[in-house]
Structure 1
Amino acid sequence: MNRLNELVEKAFSRQALHTADLPGLDLYMDQVITLVENGYAANKRTAEEKLLTKTMVQNYSKAGLVRPIKGKKYTPGHIVQMLAIYSLKRTLTIGEIKQALDALYAQEGGEQALPDCYERALSQKDALAGAIAGLLEQNGFSECGSRSDAFTSLLTAAALSEAFACLAEGILDRYLPAEQKARRS
């Protein structure tokens, strides 16, 4: 396997925590951070990268992305909220993530639906990964023999990333629109 194919494979096989990986008991913040850091360790670009910090969790809570906790412990439901945020934050803004979560929670049983939505998304990603990697290879996205080949592949990857980000924004805008606040007359 050539080196670019290894990068494609790595990109599409990024490690993910599943809901079954979560402990059945509530965790303190440090335990949540350790769980996420260990569960996603293979996804780090550098060893120094922090995937989840106390400040991030506090900011997510202040923004209303993570539901308020009782006491000092986070439930498995809170952890799934953080995993969903982790999955979305490279594509959507914090405000857009809040919009999507609020729209989901607005439906009856929406908050309880989040773990199922999260697991189905992981399954769909895994199912599509091989097909996308195959399409890239079929269309000339292969070994970078020169810097111009590498730059072409970089532009292609960036264009695909932009297209998928636009797709995510379109789904958000069409199917999970922000609630319109009633205007005062």
Structure 2
Amino acid sequence: MPLKALIDEVFSDRDIAPGDVPRLDLYMDQVLALFEDGFSDEKRAPEDKLLTKTMVHNYVKEGLLTPAKGKKYTRQQIMQLLCVYHLKQALPLSDVKALTGRSDVDFEACYGRLLFAKARTRELIPPLLLEHLPDDPAGDPDARLSICLALSAISTYMRRLCEQLIDHAQP
């Protein structure tokens, strides 16, 4: 498959908009259904699980997410969980905890800024990648490896920048 088609597929992901999150508290099964419906396109394989009860319980246990009140999760906790979900794609849980395991953060506002940044990224990054990477890596293992190495290096730079932001935060 040509690189442009792959980029188009990857950058056409959809997000859970803040308006998609009910203003009512949700039970665990409802939270899981929200994530499954909202992020199902991100699965590599159909049987993959994006979020499980065990994951949520572990996030609470590790201090990444505040505990449910009774058996329900508030809108703020769901926004917090959305932030955890995105951060854990690139950062170790200890770094995610440093960012989300706090009570002084407006998770809905931060999540809204994430969606704005993702929209800008979808506009700016694909043309840049197409300009600098070979167009058809499918039949050439060297080209495929070279592209994956380049993308991995970009990912490493972004992760390291996150680490610097976390490590140099004011107490």
Normalised to the residue count of structure 1, the TM-score between the two structures is 0.85
Deviations 1:117-165 (A, max 9, x none): 1111111121122211111111134221412111111111111111111
Could you tell me which residue of structure 1 aligns to residue 148 of structure 2?
154
CA contact (8 A) 2:7 2:126 kept: yes
- The equivalences for 1:145-184 within 5 A come to 145-175=139-169, 179=171
How many residue pairs align between the two structures? 170
Q: In structure 1, how many angstroms separate the alpha carbons of the residues matched to 2:121 and 2:87?
A: 18
CA contact (8 A) 1:36 1:52 kept: yes
Q: In structure 1, how many angstroms separate the alpha carbons of the residues matched to 2:150 and 2:8?
A: 16
CA contact (8 A) 1:80 1:114 kept: yes
Q: In structure 2, how many angstroms separate the alpha carbons of the residues matched to 1:36 and 1:139?
A: 34
Q: Which runs of 5+ in 2 are unaligned?
A: none
Could you tell me which residue of structure 1 aligns to residue 129 of structure 2?
136
Q: In structure 1, how many angstroms separate the alpha carbons of the residues matched to 2:126 and 2:18?
A: 26
Instruction: Please say if 1:41 is aligned against 2:40.
Output: yes
Could you tell me which residue of structure 2 aligns to residue 14 of structure 1?
13
Residue aligned with 2:168, SS: helix
Deviations 1:59-109 (A, max 9, x none): 01111111122211111111111110110002111111111124x63xxxx
Provide the identity percentage.
37
CA contact (8 A) 2:90 2:159 kept: yes
Residue aligned with 1:154, SS: helix
Q: Which runs of 4+ in 1 moved over 3 A?
A: none
Q: In structure 1, how many angstroms separate the alpha carbons of the residues matched to 2:161 and 2:118?
A: 15
| Range moving further from structure 2, 28-37 or 146-155 | 146-155
CA contact (8 A) 1:24 1:76 kept: yes
Q: In structure 2, how many angstroms separate the alpha carbons of the residues matched to 1:9 and 1:159?
A: 21
Larger Rg: 1
Could you tell me which residue of structure 2 aligns to residue 57 of structure 1?
56
Instruction: Please say if 1:121 is aligned against 2:114.
Output: yes
Alignment root-mean-square deviation, CA? 1.7
Q: In structure 2, how many angstroms separate the alpha carbons of the residues matched to 1:78 and 1:33?
A: 13
CA contact (8 A) 1:26 1:74 kept: yes
| Range moving further from structure 2, 166-175 or 71-80 | 166-175
